[in-house]
Structure 1
């Protein structure tokens, strides 16, 4: 699933290609020629219609947590890429209009100039959760309206983070993933943040002392900041591979921890899994894997 660093990289790439070209003298760059809604189930709003973008120029690209918003005047094309969604830029889109079908293509945007340029929004896998909205205010999207502070916002300070955790009786892993608490962090980067902070994912947020909260706060900034820097300037096709290569524990069950050399372990849930290092995070004690525990009964 694209999380804050990947969506931020997408934002920067699209801002450069849609708006930067126009700023360099290509007045027609970023002007929408046609919009093709291929996967109708992904479209969550119907008024204004997608066709309202045709003839308009994109003049802003914004990020709200994991949401990407392309602005054209008073209209915003807001996308949540969910688990399998992605944006693919093309210098030469097919001439024929796409046909609705069972493929990954969900939305195509063709630009006026340079001829043939534009981008596709795709979704891999069988779980179709990609969401596209056309709104006049991004806050009209329910998922955007409920977002907590953005980790890159200057207003997100240690006292603010401390207040967010005050009285929070959930495990810190779940708190970090809750978009209403903190925007943009998902399963992968919450694993990475907790590993960098040397913190058990199962520890209750309300029981963290000041030093532990400060470690997690610092790890949020460094982990996400480093991920964004690694992604900066990369072609869109390379961003997913870069994300995987930069992860220390997430998705690396059975491998050696790059910090201490212990074996990275996993806890599985119904639709996801977390990875951690026992030596770095839990005092050498393996966490109970509930799925495995059920099998052993």
Structure 2
């Protein structure tokens, strides 16, 4: 799933490339992706892009007083094609295609077995329920320890779940939560209420450092290479069976929230296997 470092890099590229461009067509090939049926993307045809932003894992393409909000879901992405450039024949299918007045296009793809792409046309991004409920974002310069403490607040909930809870902290998913917990040397299944002061300090520092370092590293990476750049940078996520880059122990995986997550038993759980 795209997370905030990659989504920020994508938003920056879309803004640089399409600001001022007029939308000439919005072809939705999968109607289930449209969440505002009374205001489909086609209602934006003829409008110029005035900016592109990000809210957590959501994109916001601004057309004057209206916005196209895009959720790429678990398996979605955006394919940016120059005028005359053909889509790769083996790429994931496009569920919606935005065509601009210079001949360039943005194809919104979805490689999953179900439709996870979501499209909203709204006057304000907060009209999208998921955005209205977003918690503070570690990529924002204003994010500080008080935001972190409010998110955790001694809760009897596993810390990995809280890191992925968008209403508590925005933009973090399965992959970066694994990386944050590994950097902080904290077990993914410990409850927030059981964290020691030192663990809380390490977890806060790791949350800010991992997310901002990743965002800085993704800046300028072409859109079609962002996902692979994320994979290549992972220390433990997706690396079960490999050596931990910190201690040399074996990275393990466990089931979490309908998927798998990775951790280092030596660094994070005192050798216990989850």
1:15-61 CA deviation, whole Å, 9 max, x = no partner?
A: 11012xxxxxxxxx411111111111111112333222111111111
Runs of 4+ in structure 1 off by over 6 angstroms are: none
Q: Which runs of 5+ in 1 are unaligned?
A: 20-28, 96-102, 288-297
Task: Please tell me whether the aligned partners of residues 90 and 118 of structure 1 are also in contact (alpha carbons under 8 angstroms).
Answer: yes
State the distance in 2 between where 1:93 and 1:67 align. Answer: 28
- 1:122-133 matches, within 5 Å, as 122-133=109-120
Superposition TM-score, scaled by structure 2 size:
0.94
Deviations 1:168-203 (A, max 9, x none): 110001010000101000000000000000000011
CA deviation after TM superposition for structure 1 residue 132, in Å: 0.7
Larger radius of gyration: 1
Q: In the alignment, what sits opposite 1:109?
A: 98
What does the per-residue CA deviation read over 1:247-268, in whole Å, with 9 as the maximum and x for residues that have no partner? Answer: 0000000000001100000102
Say which SS state the counterpart of residue 200 (structure 2) adopts.
Answer: helix
1:178 matched residue in structure 2: 165
- Structure 2: runs of 5 or more not aligned: 87-91
Cα 1:262–1:94, aligned 2, differ >3 Å: closer, same or farther? closer
Match of 1:24 in 2: none
Query: Is the contact made by 1:123 and 1:130 (CA closer than 8 Å) also made in structure 2?
Result: yes
Aligned 8 A contact 1:33 1:55 in 2: yes
Aligned residue among 30, 48, 55 for 2:39:
48
* Alpha-carbon distance, 1:231 to partner: 1.2
- Is this contact kept in 1: 2:79–2:108, CA < 8 A? yes
C-alpha separation in 2, matches of 1:79 and 1:181:
21
CA contact (8 A) 1:158 1:214 kept: no
| Residue 58 of structure 2 corresponds to residue 67 of structure 1 | yes
CA RMSD in angstroms, aligned pairs only: 1.6
Q: Aligned to 1:241, what secondary structure does the other structure show?
A: helix
What SS is found at the alignment partner of 2:190? coil
**2:73 — aligned with what?**
82
Measured after TM superposition, the shift of residue 105 of structure 1 is 1.1
- 8 Å CA contact 1:76–1:138 kept in 2: the answer is yes
1:75 Cα shift?
0.8
Q: Tell me by how many angstroms 1:271 deviates.
A: 2.3
